[in-house]
Amino acid sequence: MPITATTLWVCMMLLSSPHLPETEPEPGTIKIYLDADRTGVPESGESIERGIRTALSQAEYRLGGHPVELVVRDHKGNSRRSQKHLKEYLDDEQALAVFCGLHSPPVLANMAMIHKEEILMLVPWAAAGPITRYRTEQNWIFRLSVDDTKAGRVLSNHGINERGHRAPALLLEKTGWGRSNNKTMTEALNEFGVRASTTTWFNWSISEESARVILRNIARTGADSIFFVGNAPEGKTFAHAMTTIEPQWRLPIYSHWGITGGDFSKVIGAELRATKGFFLEFIQTRYSFLDQPNDKKGKQVLAQAMEIYPGQIKNAYDITAPAGFIHAYDLTTILLAAADEIEFSGDIREDRLRLRLALENLEKPIRGLIKTYKQPFSASEKGHPDAHEALGIEDLVMARYGEQGEILLIHD
């Protein structure tokens, strides 16, 4: 039969039809959303996705007996775009929960909406203290990550008591995350009898020349160190600037973990980090595939990740932005355990509520990578600010980069 234009048109219409059977989700499918920055700091969003998928694959992509699908969105670090994705989640009758990404500002900007609309949000990275402490009877945000109400103290204790500094300068990004850290770091320094020599704010996308000016000005105040709060893009700018200013102005940097969410270790490689006078340490949570190579749980998870991503993850060194992977894996494992505790009603809003309550009342221990979680969350109430924090100050450590750009935990 000759192929005519009409035949080709019919074939094209069939191939492009949204109603083909293979594209239809399985009946009863539940959706989990991931709304993260896949553009500015793509490594962090990708790492979180891989952690979620690894945990889901171990559960054969079933959640509470239902097939589960992961929907990935890129807010590019923009709070309004994130709000658009949250509205998409609300309009989706299959959407049960949403994971956020590295940035705190999109969560902080949309907190009123999250609680008013009862959006079940899971936080595997964003660290701003207020995120889990919104004044509401029903708290809809659960975090398994660094919490800035504790991070400032850990970083300050390390810089003051372990490294012996007495005049740190605070260098903070001009966002809600930076302001949150300014408060907690200042309080922590006061407890140690130390005052910041100066506090300097910077905007995203700062130029290297401006960074050099800031670093020189900080050094001229008599500061003996810098406590830095920023993400990988600005972290790279300041770190490179530190290697290019006059040696007498170079100060050790103690950083929040935002720098680990991108390609910092590739751009600021071992050769640059070996520059005379350059020194960098940063906060992390207490787990590393490299630090605990004989951990049975870690071996199982790494093997699963290697199976899912055969060309991309060949060993532990290939898990970039590892905190995102580790936290997302543990948080998804907790989510799966909570889903097993509820009976799904078929009404998505009711099921979100049931799952929220289940997360607050988990009684069985849950084995994760960082630790075994024993009731990781509880009901929010006055006098219990950590009710929706799965990690405590004992789970936080400092770290440094190794020769291959790997993250090595420091055991003080």
Specify the pTM.
Answer: 0.90
Q: Which residue has the tokens 């024993």?
A: 374
To 5 degrees, how large is the angle CA 135–CA 136–CA 139?
Answer: 110
Q: What is the pLDDT of residue 27?
A: 64
Six-digit token string for 226: 């810098």
Q: How far is it, in rounded angstroms, from Cα 336 to Cα 345?
A: 17
**pLDDT tens figures, 72-120:** 999 999 999 999 999 999 999 999 999 999 999 999 999 999 999 999 9
- For strands 66-74 and 225-229, give the pairing: unpaired
CB 51 within 8 A of CB 323: no
CB 360 within 8 A of CB 304: no
Q: Which residues contact 99 (CB under 8 A, 6 or more apart)?
A: 32, 33, 34, 35, 36, 48, 52, 121, 122, 123, 124, 328, 331
Residue in 278, 312, 395, 325 with CA at minimum distance from that of residue 55: 325
**pLDDT tens figures, 22-79:** 345 566 899 999 999 999 999 999 999 999 999 999 999 999 999 999 999 999 999 9
- Reduced to 3 states, what is the DSSP secondary structure of residue 127? coil
Q: What is the pLDDT of residue 294?
A: 81
Could you tell me how many residues make up the chain?
412
- For strands 366-367 and 372-373, give the pairing: antiparallel
Write the CA distances from 31 to 85, 196, 350, integer angstroms: 13, 46, 15
Share of the chain above pLDDT 70, in %: 93
Q: How far is it, in rounded angstroms, from Cα 346 to Cα 24?
A: 18
**pLDDT tens figures, 289-331:** 998 778 999 999 999 999 999 999 999 999 999 999 999 999 9
- All structural domains of the chain, each given as residue ranges with its CATH number in brackets, are 26-147+298-392 (3.40.50.2300), 149-285+398-410 (3.40.50.2300)
Total Cβ atoms within 10 A of residue 128: 27
CB 154 within 8 A of CB 393: yes
- List, as one string, the DSSP characters of 143-201: E-S--HHHHHHHHHHIIIIIT--S-EEEEEESSHHHHHHHHHHHHHHHHTT---S-EEE
